[in-house]
């Protein structure tokens, strides 16, 4: 197991768990809330096989990283990302952030500019500013669920996350249980504090500083981070970015639309563009067990 340590020699030192595979142009994968680096299972092998070096890590408070009591603001989270990049000596990096992880991508440019970074990808991202668009009662409802019955909340959240009510993209019951387990490995404290961070952080001034080739991907059926309050507004702030809408895709499109996503990532990171004429519908192959279709 590999770790880097942020803020070494200080009371705020935190060990960050990471994995590093392959050779070639480096990609850093930043997971969403409330998962861990293991969410990238279906991207890892295709990206490595395409000739890239892939680094994925657990955000502080999640997965196998340390779980401090405080310091879950985006400045600190982005400092962790910066330390990882520096410690591994990465250059010419593509940052790929999913959901909450898109915030770290944006804040990196706000704090560090494009130093060491050559491309940026925002997938189902929370940018530019959730609090400005999402009703407060919705956030209060989520927080109440996390505080009073976190595992029960995660169970319901996962169904919306993967769009189990979308008959065109069902997911299996064991898969839902697996991702609930990954989310449960986060501490309750970090789950709550990070929710506050992604809900209340305004990334507008960070997003406009993304000055490298960028790709925005979002599902039109995302009920977790609705496209109209996130990607649509982010794309207007980044007119030079490529903006791809996955029709009928839920929030967790890294699984439901994994083949299309992997192909688009490989194309964009390799050549800097995606041929939108080649955009295709994807059939999701399920395990042999019966899929869960209930709401």
Catalytic residues: 99, 222, 251
| Assigned token pair, 180 | 């609930």
- 3-46 pLDDT, tens digit per residue, is 999 999 899 999 999 999 999 999 999 999 999 999 999 999 99
The pLDDT tens digits for 128-167 are 999 988 888 888 999 999 999 999 999 999 999 999 876 5
| Separation of alpha carbons 231 and 228, rounded Å | 7
Q: How far is CA 52 from CA 37, 82, 94, 108, in A?
A: 17, 20, 10, 21
Q: Which domains does the chain have, with CATH numbers?
A: 2-292 (3.40.50.1820)
CB 6 within 8 A of CB 83: yes
CA 136 to chain CA centroid, Å, is 23
User: Does the pLDDT at position 293 exceed 50?
Assistant: no
* Banded pLDDT at 288 (limits 50, 70, 90): very low
Longest dimension (CA), the chain: 53
**CA-CA distance, 223 to 208, in Å (whole number)?**
25
pLDDT tier at 276 (50, 70, 90 boundaries)? low
**Could you write out the DSSP letters of every residue in 117-143?**
EEEEEEES---S-GGGTS-HHHHHHHH
Secondary structure (DSSP) of 214-228? EEEEEETT-SSS-GG
Distance CA 255, CA 270 (A): 22
Which has more pLDDT, 285 or 167? 167
> Is beta strand 2-6 parallel, antiparallel or unpaired with respect to 14-21?
antiparallel
**pLDDT at position 252, please?**
98
Indicate if the pLDDT at residue 100 is higher than 80.
yes
């Amino acid at each position: 197991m590999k770790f880097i340590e942020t803020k070494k020699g200080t009371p705020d030192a935190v060990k960050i768990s990471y994995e590093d595979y392959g050779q070639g142009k480096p990609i850093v994968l930043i997971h969403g809330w409330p998962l861990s680096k293991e969410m990238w299972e279906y991207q890892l092998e295709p990206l490595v096989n395409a000739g890239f070096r892939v680094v994925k890590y657990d955000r502080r408070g999640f997965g196998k990283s340390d779980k401090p009591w405080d310091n879950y603001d985006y400045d600190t989270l982005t400092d962790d990302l910066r330390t990882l990049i520096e410690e591994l000596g990465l250059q010419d990096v593509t940052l790929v952030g999913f959901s909450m992880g898109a915030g770290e991508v944006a804040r990196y440019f706000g704090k560090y500019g494009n130093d060491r970074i050559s491309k940026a990808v925002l997938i189902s991202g929370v940018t530019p500013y959730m609090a400005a668009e999402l009703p407060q009662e919705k956030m209060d409802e989520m927080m109440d669920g996390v505080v009073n019955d976190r595992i029960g909340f995660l169970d319901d959240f996962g169904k919306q996350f993967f769009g189990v009510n979308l008959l065109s993209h069902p997911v299996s019951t064991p898969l839902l249980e697996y991702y609930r387990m990954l989310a449960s490995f986060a501490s309750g404290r970090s789950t709550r504090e990070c929710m506050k961070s992604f809900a209340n952080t305004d990334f507008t001034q960070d997003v406009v500083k993304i000055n490298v080739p960028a790709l925005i991907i979002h599902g039109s059926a995302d009920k977790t981070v609705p496209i109209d309050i996130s990607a649509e507004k982010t794309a207007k702030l980044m007119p030079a970015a490529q903006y791809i809408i996955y029709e009928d895709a839920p929030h967790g499109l890294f699984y439901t639309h994994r083949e299309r996503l992997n192909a688009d990532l490989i194309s964009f990171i390799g050549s800097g563009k995606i041929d939108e004429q080649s955009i295709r519908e994807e059939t999701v192959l399920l395990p042999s067990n019966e899929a869960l279709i209930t709401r």
